[in-house]
Amino acid sequence: MSTSLLFLDTLTGPLQYAFFQKGLVIATISGALLGFVGVYITLRGMSYIGHGLSHAIFGGFAAASLVSASFIYIGAGIWGISSALAINWVTRKHRIGADAAIGVITTASFALGVALLSYYGSSGPSFDNALFGSIYGISPDQIVMLIGVSVATAAFVFFRYRSLLFTTFDPEVAAASGVNVARTEAMLMLLLSLSILATLTVIGVTLVAAMLVIPAVVARMITDSFGRMLVLSTGIGASCGLVGMYLSYFAGVPSGTMIVLTGATVFCLALAWQGWRSLARTAGLDDHHEDAPEAVASPTRST
């Protein structure tokens, strides 16, 4: 058998299994979705929120699984969205330091999730699968949910492209130009939490944040154009999901692990291709996006 035929056979072999077909589809879409959303998250210096939110959702995941297996995603979704809006509110209002608040809220939620799963067990995915991702036991509902979230996210970005770009680049000037920054940011947080929730099963709680960051950072190293970065990051995320899923199958390790390791490999390749200077382009991606504190007391603005 020639090398090319052997390679083709290797690729098509796992596709005879329905679980792998579903896993491959969901991993590829998950990678694309996280790569897409990740552009906005990293450029806003909000990687830490993505990391915290995935841990917060794990708490909701565990608590909801105690109620009912069919309630897991609705419960975790409510928990995640509440956490996202709370984080957004804290970040904007500066009642306490944003890092401290997020650290407390999300890690406490994660710890609660660990405690609940350890004590009561789960009626849904196992502890390890929730943490590191798994291609087994993916239900049609999860695929529908992932596709729904992906379509909603793409539609939001498509129809609000310039407002989103403006608020990401310069929220204060965007607000002065008539963009409803608070609503735009709340929508982004909502879509972020739904994206994390929808991709949790395959990527895993502890590794979702990496897939929010790696494709976007690699894309940033390659291009100086926002539009191209969005396309590249989505493509890199999808490729990592696809390749990582195959590697997961052949290596017999959790899917999230191999997807993230594939992303890390792509990062190294991009670094070798673009050189160390390309890293300079990513400077500032870890700066926390925080508006200047708002003045207090009630306004009196009339027209």
Partner 1 sequence: MTATGVGPVILKLDNITVGYEHAPVLRDVSFHVHSDQFTGIVGPSGSGKTTLLRTLLGALRPQRGTVTTKAGLRMAYVPQLETVNWNFPVTVFECVLMARTEGRQWPRASRADKTDVAAMLDRLGIAEVAQRHIRQLSGGQQQRMFIARALLSNPDLLILDEPTSGVDVSTRHDMLHLLADLHEDGISIVLSTHDLNGMAAHLPHLVTINGKIIADGTPHEVITSDVLERTFGARLEVLEHLGMPIVIDDYHRVGPRAVS
Note the residues at the interface with partner 1 (CB under 8 A): 43, 94, 157-163, 165-166, 168-170, 172-179, 220, 223-227, 229-230, 280-285, 287, 292-303
- Beta-carbon contacts of residue 29 (< 8 Å; ≥ 6 apart): 146, 147, 150, 238, 241
Residue 22 or 220: which CB sits closer to partner 1?
220
Residue 143 or 154: which CB sits closer to partner 1?
154
Contact between residue 42 and residue 216 where contact means Cβ atoms under 8 Å apart:
yes
Contact between residue 111 and residue 186 where contact means Cβ atoms under 8 Å apart:
no
Residue 165 or 253: which CB sits closer to partner 1?
165
Residue 114 or 152: which CB sits closer to partner 1?
152
> At its nearest, how many Å lie between partner 1 and the CB of residue 176?
4
Closest CA to 108 of 96, 98, 100: 100
Residue 99 or 291: which CB sits closer to partner 1?
291
- Cα 270 to Cα 56, 78, 224, 258, 301, distances in angstroms: 32, 38, 15, 18, 51
> At its nearest, how many Å lie between partner 1 and the CB of residue 294?
7
> At its nearest, how many Å lie between partner 1 and the CB of residue 5?
41
3-state secondary structure 214-258: HHHHHHHHHCCCHHHHHHHHHHHHHHHHHHHHHHHHHHCCCHHHH
CA 262/CA 214 separation, integer angstroms: 10
CA 56/CA 64 separation, integer angstroms: 13
